[in-house]
Structure 1
Amino acid sequence: MRLRACPSALAAVALTVGLTAGATPAGAATPGAATPAGAAEPRPFLDRLNTVSLVGSTVPANGDVNPYGTFTIRENAGRLRRGNVLVSNFNDSANLQGTGTTLVQVAPDGTLSTFATIDPGALPGPCPGGVGLTTALTVLPGGWVVVGSLPTSDGTSATAQAGCLLVLDKHGTVRETIANDAINGPWDMTAVSSDGRSELFVTNVLNGTVAGGGAEVDQGTVLRISLCTEGDEPPVPMAFTEIGSGFPERTDPAALVVGPTGVGLHDGTLYVADTVRSRITAIPDAITRTDSAGTGRLVTSGGNLNAPLGMAITPRGDILTVNGGDGNIVETTRAGRQVATKTINSEGTPPGAGALFGLALDLDHDAVYFVNDADNVLDVLH
């Protein structure tokens, strides 16, 4: 792994901080001002979305299941197609967690294609433990795909290892791995880019969790990784900064690990879905801060939140999260008001539990794509 300085200034990146939303593509959301005192509260984003439709299967030819990461592709690049949804699979065909190796594209008409099948034995750099693709998924300018790996050897938390971030080019070839002591179970991610520089915001869920043996440990982190991109060379890591820490996490026989998951950036603030405590917190000055904000400021907790996982930000800055404990999607304002809740999955016992993970807005920002782990499909709320 290379580490050096990038000529692009942080200030240039800061200009676009309001343009990145959760697991949606960089540039997907626009800055929104707070509602003036005495003004009517805007209609919740979810109020206009009432129908859930199947888009298509996420299962590739090798049989990988358990779709996690979800990202709407903004630009044609190589094999990436604008408007398609890129999805990462966490499990292999035997349904062992932390062993999935495929990234697939699902077109709006449901057509499925495999973007990449990653060979753990043929990586260009270190990735402790191998490959098990997580919710951490984004596409940077130039078609560089970055996806997290939290691998196991047998699908159990006892064999979980630190993993890495895998960087693939627009043709689906792994060109680089990003691994160091700060990356330990990369679980979810969002990014912002400008003028050859990108900032990745990555949650980590393995700090002390395996040793804890199922007990809660407060060691989850949020890491900012600064990258520089030049020409056709893979993005170069230039700085690693821990901006969040102390998040609760634990191993789980059904979910492998539970810890800070969804992240979304708006107006310089990074919002984090704290899955264990069923709350959303906010880390201020996420792009420029040089120290950890701990778990950040509490935005909201409890209520309709039930182990929130994936996150996306609406055009006006509301926070969308899906629950791991039931089949609901919840909309929360930046002021912490939970203004809308809808059931988008009612399968399983209890209904919807464990079926929802990654989500992303479509390109028109008037629908929400989400993966359904119960059926291994991509659905859309519209």
Structure 2
Amino acid sequence: MNLLPRFGTIGPGDLLVSNFNNQANLQGTGSTIVRIVPSSKPVVFFQGGPGLGLSTALGVLQAGFVLVGSVPTTDGTFATIKAGSLLILNRTGNIAAQWTPALAKIDGPWDLTIFDQGNTAKVFVSNVLNGTVVRLDVGISENGVNLKGATQIASGFPFRGDPAALVVGPTGLAYDPQRDVLYVASTVDNAVFAVFGAGTTNHDGGKGVVIYADNAHLHGPLGLALGPNGDLFTANGDAINSDPNQPSEIVEFTPQGRFVAQLSVDPAQGGAFGLAFSQIRDDFVHFAAVDDNVPNITDWHLHVDDAGR
């Protein structure tokens, strides 16, 4: 899920949501990205071929290009899961490029986050089929997105097939460019790690450092976002350390590992999934979160002072 910036033909305030399941609810077979427009019906932004399995590795560049990960299966089971690829779409929803595992060092691109500097960007991708994180350094022009280099910067995160979630492993990523720290939600570890020097290193730093491990409030963290107040927000998928008394929780915590608050988005387990922040202006933000059980999306329009409450 990604809230769009004010660039490209996709309008400001629009929300993009990738579909991992198809209409028959088979995991790893979804092939569409839906554009959600305020006060209007959802429309399809991208329609790919069958069986793509578009993951939460979804991001939008200032130039209007959309990056999305594909982790396909043929029958919705872990037995047929494939390494997938990263698709680069132009602002009209057509494929401009496709980055393969050999080119981009990806293996099940499960989630991503982007540090966009206009003509260049750093794209961090978590890989659910080998437990690594890679940094993709890219150049950007009106004509396309050029992959300049791929560096594995973290590894050792546990991953495995799961009968309910299909596969679990490193998922949500959030990058703080001021500190050059990448935060990684490791679902199987039930913890969030910090990888220091993520934007500049040329070496694999392993799993980094645990900054938040809280069995009372973490229940298989998936999506991860850095809020405007400097806190981190994660969506509990309930596949790990589940608690029926705390279903589908979004948890807020500080980068120093202090629990702040939590919010349930569904009375049943397994609903919390993707989440995203987008700045509207200096004092207001959008905060959007998926309830995968219904499914639906809630988009809060928050004053910055209230974004962490």
Compute the TM-score of the two structures, normalised by the length of structure 2.
0.89
Deviation (angstroms), 1:367: 4.5
**Corresponding residue of 2:78:** 157
**Corresponding residue of 1:93:** 23
How many residue pairs get aligned? The number is: 285
Tell me if the contact between 1:185 and 1:205 (Cα under 8 Å) persists in the aligned partners: yes
SS of residue matched to 1:151: coil
SS of residue matched to 2:16: strand
CA distance in 2, matches of 1:110, 1:250: 39
Tell me if the contact between 1:72 and 1:363 (Cα under 8 Å) persists in the aligned partners: no
Write the mapping of 1:25-40 to structure 2, written as runs, cut at 5 A.
Answer: none
Question: Which of these two proteins has the greater Rg computed from alpha carbons?
Answer: 1
Q: 1:310 aligns with which of 223, 247, 263?
A: 223
SS of residue matched to 2:79: helix
**What is the one-letter code of the residue matched to 1:225?**
L
Runs of 4 or more off by more than 3 Å in structure 1? Answer: 362-367
Deviation (angstroms), 1:380: 2.8
**What is the one-letter code of the residue matched to 1:359?**
L
Tell me if the contact between 2:88 and 2:95 (Cα under 8 Å) persists in the aligned partners: yes
Write the mapping of 1:178-217 to structure 2, written as runs, cut at 5 A.
Answer: 178-181=99-102, 182-207=105-130
**Corresponding residue of 1:379:** 298
Q: Does 1:276 align with 2:188?
A: yes
CA distance in 1, matches of 2:146, 2:129: 24
| Higher-strand-fraction structure | 2
Deviation per CA, 1:72-121: give whole Å up to 9, x if none: 1111412x11101110000111111111000011123252111010125x
**Corresponding residue of 2:279:** 363
Write the mapping of 1:47-86 to structure 2, written as runs, cut at 5 A.
Answer: 70-78=1-9, 80-86=10-16
Identical counterparts, % of pairs: 41
Tell me if the contact between 2:7 and 2:63 (Cα under 8 Å) persists in the aligned partners: no
**Corresponding residue of 2:305:** none
**What is the one-letter code of the residue matched to 2:297?**
L
**Corresponding residue of 1:111:** 41
Deviation per CA, 1:304-332: give whole Å up to 9, x if none: 11101101111132100010113111111
CA distance in 2, matches of 1:97, 1:118: 15
**Corresponding residue of 1:252:** 162
SS of residue matched to 1:94: coil
Q: What runs of 5+ residues in structure 2 fail to find an aligned partner?
A: 239-246, 302-309
SS of residue matched to 1:158: helix
Tell me if the contact between 1:83 and 1:363 (Cα under 8 Å) persists in the aligned partners: no
**Corresponding residue of 2:255:** 334
Tell me if the contact between 1:105 and 1:113 (Cα under 8 Å) persists in the aligned partners: yes
Deviation (angstroms), 1:225: 0.6
Tell me if the contact between 2:159 and 2:169 (Cα under 8 Å) persists in the aligned partners: yes
Q: Does 1:229 align with 2:159?
A: no
SS of residue matched to 2:74: coil
Larger relative CO (CA 8 A, sep 6+): 1 or 2? 1
CA distance in 2, matches of 1:107, 1:370: 15
SS of residue matched to 2:201: coil
**What is the one-letter code of the residue matched to 1:245?**
S
Tell me if the contact between 1:333 and 1:339 (Cα under 8 Å) persists in the aligned partners: yes
**Aligned Cα root-mean-square deviation (Å):** 1.4
CA distance in 2, matches of 1:285, 1:205: 22
**What is the one-letter code of the residue matched to 1:291?**
H
SS of residue matched to 1:104: strand
Compute the TM-score of the two structures, normalised by the length of structure 1.
0.72
